[in-house]
Amino acid sequence: MSAPQKPSVLVVDDKENMRKLFSRILGDAYAVTEGADGAQALALLASREFDVVVTDIQMPGADGFAVLREVKRRAPDTEVVLVTAYASIPKAVEAIKEGAYDYLSKPFDPDEVALIVARALEQRRQRRAAAGLKARLAEAPAPHGLLGASAAMRGLHALLSQVAARDLTVLLTGETGTGKELAARAVHAESPRKAKPFVAVNCGALPAELVESELFGHAKGAFTGATVAKPGLFEEAHGGTLFLDEIGDLPLPVQVKLNRALQEKEVRRVGTTTPVKVDARVVAATHRDLAAEVAAGRFREDLYYRLNVVTVRLPALRERREDIPLLAMHFLARAGRPELEGFTPEALRALSSYAWPGNVRQLENAVARAAAVTQGARIGVDDLPPELGVSRTAEAPGAPAGRVPAEALAKLPYREAVDSARDAVSREYLSALMQEFGGNVTHAAERAGMERESLHRLLKRYGVRSDDFKRPE
């Protein structure tokens, strides 16, 4: 078996000793190609694509800005790291505005070089993963809003299409939040009744004293407040589909009248004995076990069998985990923050491993919340709701704050485990540094042995706010 191909890095500098230094620092982990100047770099970029480009800013002829622009023109996903002397830092900051990933200020620490290049590579991987997920989302089947490419969802799509063509009563079962109303709308949209009304009602949300009136209508003067005659939902759905959500919550007396309406295809408005013929296909839904409700005497057996002509069960989200990244990306696109690129790999793993007792509806709410609070380009685990129990900075028994527990590290591939541990240590160090100096970045940078701007970038990268450590005056 051949060894995995190393990520490719192009190092561009007109000084040979600097190129060799970068090659020594990066050579073990990356396939390094050297460019003696900007012109040679442009020629190399015309012939192949690199994962990361590290280029000096000040070079004769084509400078680092020219290299940056050519990279972004040819391969926008390739990350560029600028190398500059301290006096040229404003130029490096300008380069970041033009699309560079980061900059290194001379003199630099070899560990800082390795870290920034590793981060740039991870940025590229995540951006490409997000692009791939968006492409999958665009291709994923989503008839009538029922998004999902898993085997469970493909089977559901096929079954709903078959059921829609036959004018039978349908009972949709499944946990709360699995999309039963979307399934009902799919049945209606693919049926011969699609040009007629689709009327939906949540039986559990209707006051008990108004359920009968809402379903069957009432005559003028039938009760206090009935100033005019009003048709019920069965009549409103005439020729189309009536969706009775949470039908297990119907009071028993109304169940009797509903059963008769389904049998006779007619209703009697409250306050009158005159029957009204209705032609509405009924699609009912419940999260309850109706067979158990019948056994307990809470649901009529005759109505249960009349509804249970065709039963379609919607799978819980935990039964189709492979759809979770697609759904999360779909909900992110609807969150009103188009600048967000997607999710970090850790966040996607956390979303995919959670049980989601509230199913798709809970996932939608979780993504909307994360999109609202995140400060980064991608949603990370710290942005996810606390009930997921995956906060990267949560304190674990026996571990320092922010440290990833050993048992969690053991479940990750080596590279990801090292990155996670390094993230935690960096965050701990920066928090301790800010605590020591009361949020004073200038003094903290002196202690850390780095430029103030470099410390600012690290604080932002690891989500440590200096203002949180400022002492009252």
**Residue 145 lies inside a defined structural domain of this protein:** no
Statement to judge: residues 186 and 303 lie in one domain: yes
- Domain assignment present for 43: yes
Stretch (H or E) spanning 144: none
One domain, residues 183 and 133: no
Query: What is the domain-level CATH number for residue 180?
Result: 3.40.50.300
Per-residue pLDDT reduced to its tens digit, 114-130: 888 998 898 888 888 88
**Beta carbons of 234 and 278 less than 8 angstroms apart:** yes
Has residue 143 been placed in a domain? Answer: no
Inform me whether the pLDDT recorded for 236 exceeds 80: yes
Same domain? 387 vs 402 = no
Q: What is the CATH number of the domain that holds 383?
A: 1.10.8.60
Angle at 240 between CA 234 and CA 244, to 5 degrees: 50
Burial tier of 226 (Cβ tally within 10 Å: 0-12, 13-18, 19+): middle
Query: Is 287 found in the same domain as 156?
Result: yes
Q: What is the mean pLDDT of residues 358-368?
A: 94
216/230 Cα distance (integer angstroms) = 9
Residue 217 CB-density burial (10 A; 0-12 exposed, 13-18 middle, 19+ buried): buried
For the CA atoms of the chain, what is the radius of gyration? 31
- The number of residues in the chain equals 473
| Two tokens, residue 286 | 């419940």
- Domain ends where: 287, 315, 343? 315
Q: Does an H or E element contain 389, and which?
A: none
Q: Tell me the pTM.
A: 0.68
Read off the CATH number of the domain in which 122 is found: 3.40.50.2300
In a domain, 373, yes or no: yes
CA 377 to chain centre: 13
Whether residue 100 sits in one domain with residue 155: no
> Which pLDDT does position 472 carry in this prediction?
64
The answer to whether residue 3 is domain-embedded is no
Q: Is residue 334 part of a domain?
A: yes
Note whether 130 and 197 are same-domain residues.
Answer: no
Number of domains in the chain: 4
> Are 358 and 424 part of one and the same domain?
no
Q: Are residues 306 and 236 in the same domain?
A: yes
| Long-range contacts (CB closer than 8 Å, 24 or more residues apart) made by 145-149 | 145/179, 145/182, 145/185, 145/186, 146/179, 146/182, 146/183, 146/186, 147/323, 147/326, 147/327, 147/330, 148/320, 148/323, 148/326, 148/327, 149/322, 149/323, 149/326
Q: Are residues 234 and 165 in the same domain?
A: yes
Convert the pLDDT of each residue in 7-59 to its tens digit.
999 999 989 999 999 999 999 889 999 999 888 999 999 999 999 999 988 88
Domain boundary among 257, 292, 315: 315
List own/partner pairs for 255-258 with CB under 8 A and 24 or more apart: 255/299, 255/300, 255/303, 256/300, 256/303, 257/212, 257/215, 257/216, 258/215, 258/303
310 with 257, same domain? yes
- Among candidate residues 391, 410, 440, the one where a domain is terminated: 391
Per-residue pLDDT, 395: 32
Across the range 141-167, mean pLDDT stands at 92
User: Quick check: 226 pLDDT over 70?
Assistant: yes
One-letter amino acid identity for 170?
V
Are residues 229 and 134 both part of a single domain? no
Q: Give 244 or 401, the one with higher predicted confidence.
A: 244
How confident is the model at residue 87, as a pLDDT? 54
**Is 234 strand, coil or helix?**
helix
The verdict on residue 103 lying in a domain is yes
- Residue 234 pLDDT greater than 80, yes or no: yes
Task: Compute the distance between CA of residue 142 and CA of residue 158 in angstroms, rounded to an integer.
Answer: 12
For residue 405, what pLDDT is reported? 52
pLDDT at 164 exceeding the cut of 50: yes
Contact 102, 64 (CB under 8 A): no
Are both 335 and 306 inside the same structural domain? no
Range of the domain at 331: 318-391
Residue 1 lies in a domain: no
CB 287 within 8 A of CB 247: no
Burial degree of 2 (CB within 10 A; 0-12, 13-18, 19+): exposed
